[in-house]
Chain A
Amino acid sequence: MNRSGVLSSFGVILAVAACAGNEMPQKAAPAESLEWIEPGSDLVLPAYFESSNQYGRVGFLNTAGPIHTREHPFFEPQGPNGRACVSCHQPADGMSISVESLQQRWLETGGQDPVFAQIDGQNCPNLPHDQAASHSLLLERGLFRVGIPWPPRETDGTLIEPQFTIEVLRDPTGCNLDPEYGLYSDKPTISVYRRPRPATNTRYTAHRNMDGPFILPFIQKNGRATARDPETGELVSMNLMADARYPTLRTQADNAAISHLEQPNMTDETLNRIVAFERGLFSAQAYDSQAGSLTDEYGPIAFGPQNLTTQVAGTLGNNERMFVFPMGTAWLEPAPGLTAEQIARRASIRRGHDIFFYRTFWISDSMHINTVGLGNPIKRTCSTCHNQHMTGMDVANGWVDLGTTNLPHAMEEPQDSRGRPQPVLPLFKVTCKPDVAPHPFYGREIFTQDPGRALISGRCDDVGAIVIQQMRALSARAPYFVNGSAQTLEDVVIFYDRRYNIGFTDQERRDLVAFMSAL
Chain B
Amino acid sequence: MMRGILSGVLAGLVATQASAQATGERLNFVACPIIRDTANVPCWLSDHEGTRYYLTIQTDISGKVHPPYLGHMALVEGIVGERSVCGGIELVEVHISPLPELAPECDQHLPREARYDLPFDPPRPPGPSRGSLAFGSIQGPEPIEEAPPEGPREFEIPFRYDAQLGSRHPQYLLPAYDAALEMHASRIEVRGYRGGALLSNGEQLLERSDIGQLRAEQAADALREALTGAGLEDIEVTSEAIDAPRPDGIEDWSDRKVIVRVIP
Chain A positions within 8 Å of B, measured between CB atoms, are 213, 216-226, 228, 233, 235, 316, 318-321, 323, 357-358, 360, 364-365, 368, 370-381, 383-384, 435, 437-438, 440-441, 443
Contact = CB atoms under 8 A, between A and B. Distances in A.
B226 A225 contact: yes
Contact of B229 (A228, A319, A370, A379): A228
Contact of B231 (A233, A360, A371, A378): A233
B16 to A, nearest CB: 27
B59 A222 contact: no
Contact of B127 (A222, A383, A438, A443): A383
B interface: dominant SS = loop
A320 B129 contact: yes
A374 B170 contact: no
Given A321-B132, A437-B164, A440-B100, A375 B66 contact: yes
Contacts of A320: 128-130
A437 B162 contact: yes
Contact of B165 (A223, A364, A365, A384): A223
Contact of A379 (B42, B70, B71): B42
Nearest to A323: B128
B169 interface: yes
A357 B128 contact: yes
Given A370-B69, A374-B66, 7 more contacts: A217-B170, A219-B170, A360-B126, A373-B168, A375-B59, A376-B69, A380-B126
Contacts of B231: 233
Given A219-B170, A441-B71, A374 B59 contact: yes
Contact of B167 (A373, A377, A380): A373
A371 B101 CA distance: 14
Sorted nearest first, the 8 A-B pairs with minimum C-beta distance are A375-B67, A225-B225, A218-B170, A376-B69, A223-B169, A373-B61, A381-B127, A223-B165
Contact of B58 (A368, A379, A437): A379
Residue among B126, B162, B177, B219 with the highest chain A CB neighbour number at 10 A: B126
A441 B71 CA distance: 8
Contacts of B218: 223-224
B70 A435 contact: no
Contacts of B37: 379
B141 to A, nearest CB: 14
A142 to B, nearest CB: 32
B72 interface: yes
Contacts of A365: 71
A223 B219 CA distance: 8
A228 B231 CA distance: 12
Contacts of B127: 318, 357-358, 360, 380-381, 383-384
B60 interface: yes
Contacts of B224: 225
Contacts of A216: 170, 174
B98 interface: yes
A412 B218 CA distance: 36
25 contacts: A216-B170, A218-B226, A223-B169, A223-B173, A223-B222, A224-B218, A225-B225, A225-B229, A319-B130, A319-B131, A320-B128, A357-B127, A358-B125, A364-B70, A371-B166, A371-B167, A374-B60, A376-B67, A376-B68, A376-B70, A376-B72, A378-B58, A378-B126, A435-B210, A438-B102
B174 A217 contact: yes
B230 interface: yes
Contacts of A224: 165, 218, 221-222, 225
A365 B98 CA distance: 14
A260 to B, nearest CB: 28
Interface in B169-186: 169-170, 173-174, 177
A442 to B, nearest CB: 8
Contact of B59 (A235, A318, A373): A373
B138 interface: yes
A376 B71 contact: yes
A179 B61 CA distance: 46
Residue among A224, A323, A360, A365 with the highest chain B CB neighbour number at 10 A: A224
A358 B128 contact: yes
